[in-house]
Amino acid sequence: MSTTPSSLIIGVGDTDYGLDWALCRQSKARTDSYGYTVTAFNRALADAGITKNDIDGLYTGAPLAYERTAEVLGLDVRWASSGDSAQALQDAEAAIRAGYAECIALVYGNDQRSAGTAYGGPGASYGDQFLSYVYYEPWGFTSQGALYALLAQRYFALNGLDERVLGEVALAQRMHARLNPNAVMQAELTMDDYLASRKIVEPLRLFDYTIINDGAVVLLVTSEEFAAAKGLTDRAVRLKAFGRSDMNKEATSLAPRLLDFYHPAHEEAARRVYKDASIGPEDISALQVYDSFSVHIPLMLSGLGFTDDQNVGHFIQSGALRPGGQLPTNTSGGHLSESYMQGWGHLAECVRQVRQEAGKRQVEDARFVQYASDVAGKVFTVIFEAAKERR
Residue 87: in which H helix or E strand, if any?
Answer: none
- In degrees and rounded to multiples of 5, residue 272 shows phi and psi of -70, -45
What's the min distance (Å) between Cβ of 116 and other proteins?
14
The b-or-e profile of 111-125 (16+ CB within 10 A means b, else e) is bbbbeeeebbeeebb
Interface region with other proteins, contact rule CB under 8 A, candidates 84-92, 135-143, 276-284, 322-330: 135-143
173-181, 246-254, 335-343, 381-389 -> range binding other proteins (CB under 8 A): 246-254
Binding residue (CB under 8 A) for other proteins from 135, 224, 276, 388: 135
Q: Is 376 in the site for other proteins (CB under 8 A)?
A: no
**Could you tell me if residue 335 is left (phi over 0), alpha (psi between -120 and 50 degrees) or otherwise beta?**
alpha
Considering only residues 101 through 120, tell me which ones interact with other proteins, judged by CB under 8 A: 120
Of the candidate spans 70-78, 99-107, 128-136, 300-308, the one that interacts with other proteins by CB under 8 A turns out to be: 128-136
**In this structure, are residues 203 and 163 in contact, taking their beta carbons and an 8 Å threshold?**
yes
Q: Which of 9, 3, 217, 227 is nearest to 94 (CA)?
A: 3
150 or 179: CB nearest other proteins: 150
Q: Is 166 in the site for other proteins (CB under 8 A)?
A: no
Among 136, 260, 271, 281, binds other proteins (CB under 8 A): 136
Minimum CB separation from other proteins for residue 121, in Å? Answer: 4
The interface region with other proteins, picked from 154-162, 181-189, 216-224, 232-240 by CB under 8 A, is 154-162
Q: In what order do the strands lie in the sheet with 237-246?
A: 79-82, 57-61, 103-110, 215-222, 8-14, 237-246, 378-386, 369-373, 286-289
Looking at 158, 191, 195, 196, which residue binds other proteins (CB under 8 A)?
Answer: 158
Instruction: Give, as ranges, the residues between 191 and 230 that touch other proteins (CB under 8 A).
Output: 198-203
Residue type for 351, please?
A: V
Task: Please compute Rg for the chain using Cα positions.
Answer: 20
- One residue of 30, 141, 197, 267 binding other proteins per CB under 8 A: 141
Minimal distance in Å, beta carbon 192 to other proteins?
19
Does 157 bind other proteins (CB under 8 A)? Our answer is yes
What separation in angstroms does the CA of 286 have from each of 188, 218, 322, 389?
22, 21, 10, 18
Which of 23, 65, 150, 179 forms a contact with other proteins (CB under 8 A)? 150
Q: Which helix (H) or strand (E) holds 215?
A: strand 215-222
Secondary structure (DSSP) of 90-112: HHHHHHHHHTS-SEEEEEEEE-T
Separation in Å, CA 67 to CA 170, 232, 283: 38, 29, 42
Number of residues that bind other proteins (CB under 8 A): 37
Q: Contact residues for other proteins (CB under 8 A)?
A: 120-122, 127, 131, 134-143, 146, 149-151, 153-154, 157-158, 198-203, 249-250, 252-255, 258-259
